[in-house]
Amino acid sequence: MTTQNSITAEDLHNKANYSIASLEDEIRADRHCAALLKQFHQYLLHELKTDPLEAGSLAAGADYFLREFIIGSKQENILDIPPLRVRQFGGNWYIIRNLEPNLDELTDMMLGTAAFYRYCAVQKLINKTTAEEIAQECAQLDNFSRRIEEFHDIKGDGFKHWDLCCPLDNKNT
């Protein structure tokens, strides 16, 4: 069994190690993702000279998006997501999966996600255009704030309409 300490840089940067078709694949992808997030954290600290608290916040924000949503819920390769996944996460999944969804917490996740994908572009794990598109989706904080407010204001059978405005299951992606 591979541990985070025994994952080589080559394995860490092998896109196939993040593909998920079975429970074993999901476990492997999660382990590799955790190791890649540690590498990202070190990059923030040592290469970008990011304040340690900010670096930790960015890495933790990306961790939640990647390991809970992309790997755990969507079971997708973290290095091959459409930018739409960010909108689905921030505008729906995060809101319905948390007892008290709030923009401050979601903002940390979006900042971390955007920074992580910029790092992936620097590492040539994804292309720069994809990283920019993901960052643009992450920057839609006004939209996420509106979605949180609308969620709190749902009355009666209003959930169905709210959900359809930003559905999680988009068969075209």
Find tokens 């290095």 and name the residue.
79
pTM assigned to the model: 0.92
**Which pLDDT score is estimated for 172?**
43
pLDDT in tens, 132-171: 999 999 999 999 999 999 999 999 999 999 999 999 886 5
Amino acid sitting at position 4: Q
What is d(CA 76, CA 55) in angstroms, rounded to the nearest whole number? 25
Residue 26's Cβ-side half-sphere holds a number of Cα atoms within 13 Å equal to 13
Where does residue 40 rank: exposed (0-12), middle (13-18), buried (19+ CB within 10 A)?
Answer: buried
Q: Where are the alpha helices (DSSP H) in the chain?
A: 9-12, 23-42, 52-63, 84-88, 94-97, 103-122, 128-138, 141-152, 159-164
pLDDT in tens, 11-63: 999 999 999 999 999 999 999 999 999 999 999 999 999 999 999 999 999 99
